[in-house]
Homo-oligomer: A and B are copies of this chain.
Amino acid sequence: MPTRHPCSIGILVSGRGSNMLAILRAVEAGRVGGARVAVVLSDRPGARALKVAERRGVPAVWVDPKGAASREDYDKKLAAALEAAGVSPGKGLVLLAGFMRLLSPWFVKRFGGRLMNVHPSLLPSFPGLDAQRQALEHGVKVAGCTVHFVVPEVDAGPIVAQAAVRVEPTDTEETLAARILAQEHRIYPLAVKLFVEGRLKIEGRRVVIDRR
Which of B137, B139, B164, B208 is within 8 Å of A142, CB to CB? Answer: B164
Give the contact-size bracket for chain A: 20 to 34
Chain B residue at smallest Cβ distance from A140:
B159
Q: How far is the CB of A132 from chain B (nearest CB, A)?
A: 14
Interface residues of A in 7-39 (CB under 8 A from B): none
Q: How far is the CB of A197 from chain B (nearest CB, A)?
A: 15
Q: How far is the CB of A176 from chain B (nearest CB, A)?
A: 13
When the two chains form their complex, are residues A162 and B140 in contact, meaning their CB atoms are under 8 A apart?
yes
Number of copies: 2
Interface of A, helix, strand, loop or mixed by DSSP: mixed
Interface residues of A in 135-174 (CB under 8 A from B): 136-142, 144, 146, 158-164, 169
Which of B123, B139, B146, B162 is within 8 Å of A206, CB to CB? Answer: B139
Which of B136, B138, B164, B205 is within 8 Å of A164, CB to CB? Answer: B164
When the two chains form their complex, are residues B123 and A141 in contact, meaning their CB atoms are under 8 A apart?
no
> Which residues in B have their C-beta under 8 angstroms from that of A126?
124
Interface residue A181 (Cβ < 8 Å from any Cβ of B): no
When the two chains form their complex, are residues A141 and B159 in contact, meaning their CB atoms are under 8 A apart?
yes
When the two chains form their complex, are residues A211 and B164 in contact, meaning their CB atoms are under 8 A apart?
no
Chain B residue at smallest Cβ distance from A158:
B139
Given A144-B164, A169-B208, A169-B211, A138 and B124 touching (CB < 8 A)? yes
Interface residue A85 (Cβ < 8 Å from any Cβ of B): no
When the two chains form their complex, are residues B122 and A140 in contact, meaning their CB atoms are under 8 A apart?
yes
When the two chains form their complex, are residues B139 and A207 in contact, meaning their CB atoms are under 8 A apart?
yes
When the two chains form their complex, are residues B162 and A142 in contact, meaning their CB atoms are under 8 A apart?
yes
Shortest 8 CB-CB distances between A and B: which pairs?
Answer: A139-B206, A164-B164, A142-B162, A141-B162, A125-B125, A139-B159, A142-B164, A124-B125
Binding site for B on A (CB under 8 A): 122-126, 136-142, 144, 146, 158-164, 169, 204-209, 211
